[in-house]
């Protein structure tokens, strides 16, 4: 039997949750999983025990949960569907990047292999979704690149936004308004630890400030090649990735 939407959501959230863990940690605490899924803590515990039975996760009581190889494979295909659908909705259906997440959240559970392959093909086998998140390969392979953030990248250099790690429409629109979509160029003018903020200069030379929390959500590519490739098109158009 195919995994239920619920199982798919749990696995996906374990994958994403583990990814956001502080360096070193590999076990996602149940509380975090529960709140990411919007269920009561006890519900997550029960469900995770069942997933462990099925060999999809490793579960250490009181410590947390992590995906097995099988679980990772499954999470990857869900993520692949989610992200291909998002990109499809933006690129083909002309929807805005801030409104596609919710649709994808549902569609990810029902698009058939046939259909997802057509989408993948139609989009030219893309590597990242509209938010810069990597699209897992057909066989469940995920290549997560490591990025700096606007909080950690070198000051004074032109960097290219690679990924925005927050799906909130309000935040995404804010990001767009300031020319910080994936593919766009920006540079950190100054960083003020005390004020908890960073001074930025956009592609159009405008200056603006971001709080640390927001700045840390913007992952950037600091390699010179990225800056070179991105420079030409400075506008707000559909972000040219890679």
Binding footprint of DNA on the chain (CB under 7 A): 4-7, 29-32, 34, 38-50, 59, 61-62, 64
Nearer to DNA, 43 or 199 (CB): 43
Nearer to a copy of itself, 69 or 110 (CB): 110
CB contact at 8 A, 36 and 68: no
Q: Residue 165 Cβ, how far from Mn ion at the closest point, in Å?
A: 9
Q: Residue 7 Cβ, how far from Mn ion at the closest point, in Å?
A: 11
Contact positions toward a copy of itself, by CB under 8 A?
Answer: 89, 92-95, 99, 102-103, 106-107, 109-112, 114-115, 118-119, 122
**Torsion-angle region of residue 64: left (phi > 0), alpha (psi -120 to 50) or beta?**
left
Rounded CA-CA distance 242/118 in Å is 22
Token pair 């309000």 is at which residue? 170
Rounded CA-CA distance 217/149 in Å is 7
Task: Name which of Mn ion, a copy of itself, DNA, none residue 110 binds, using a CB cut-off of 5 to 8 Å depending on partner kind.
Answer: a copy of itself
Applying CB under 5 A, the site for Mn ion has a residue count of 6
Task: Name which of Mn ion, DNA, a copy of itself, none residue 49 binds, using a CB cut-off of 5 to 8 Å depending on partner kind.
Answer: DNA
**Residue 169: in which H helix or E strand, if any?**
helix 169-177
Nearer to a copy of itself, 108 or 221 (CB): 108
Taking residues 115 to 144 in sequence order and writing x for each that binds Mn ion by CB under 5 A, - otherwise, the string is --------------x-x-x-----------
Burial category of 239 from C-beta neighbours within 10 Å (exposed 0-12, middle 13-18, buried 19 and up): buried
Nearer to a copy of itself, 112 or 146 (CB): 112
Write out the two tokens for 7: 């199982």
Nearer to DNA, 2 or 232 (CB): 2
Sign of the CA dihedral 168, 159, 26, 9? positive
CB contact at 8 A, 89 and 95: yes
Task: Name which of Mn ion, DNA, a copy of itself, none residue 145 binds, using a CB cut-off of 5 to 8 Å depending on partner kind.
Answer: none
58, 103, 105, 148: residue in contact with Mn ion (rule CB under 5 A): 105
C-alpha closest to that of 38 among 10, 63, 67, 18: 10
Nearer to a copy of itself, 119 or 215 (CB): 119
Strand extents, DSSP E, the chain: 57-60, 64-67, 148-149, 158-164, 185-192, 197-202, 207-211, 218-221
7, 9, 81, 120: residue in contact with Mn ion (rule CB under 5 A): 9
Q: Which residues bind to Mn ion, rule: CB under 5 A? A: 9, 86, 105, 129, 131, 133
């Amino acid at each position: 039997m195919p995994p239920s939407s619920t199982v798919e959501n749990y696995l996906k959230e374990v994958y994403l949750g583990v990814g956001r863990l502080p360096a070193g940690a590999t076990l996602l605490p149940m509380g975090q999983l529960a709140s990411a899924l919007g269920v009561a803590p006890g519900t997550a515990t029960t469900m995770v025990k069942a997933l462990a039975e099925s060999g999809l996760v490793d579960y250490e009581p009181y410590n947390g949960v992590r995906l097995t190889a099988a679980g990772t494979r499954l999470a990857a295909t869900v993520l692949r569907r989610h992200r291909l659908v998002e990109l499809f909705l933006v690129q083909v259906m002309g929807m805005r990047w801030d409104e596609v997440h919710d649709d994808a959240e549902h569609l990810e559970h029902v698009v058939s292999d046939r259909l997802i392959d057509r989408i993948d093909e139609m989009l030219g086998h893309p590597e990242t979704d509209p938010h810069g998140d990597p699209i897992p390969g057909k066989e469940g392979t995920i290549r997560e690149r490591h990025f700096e953030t606007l909080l950690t990248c070198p000051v004074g250099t032109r960097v290219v936004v690679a990924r925005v790690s927050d799906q909130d429409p309000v935040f995404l629109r804010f990001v767009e308004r300031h020319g910080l979509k994936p593919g766009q160029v920006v540079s950190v003018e100054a960083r003020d630890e005390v004020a908890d903020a960073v001074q930025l200069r956009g592609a159009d030379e405008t200056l603006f400030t971001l709080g640390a929390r927001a700045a840390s959500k913007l992952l950037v590519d600091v390699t010179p090649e990225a800056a070179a490739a991105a420079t030409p098109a400075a506008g707000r158009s559909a972000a040219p990735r890679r």
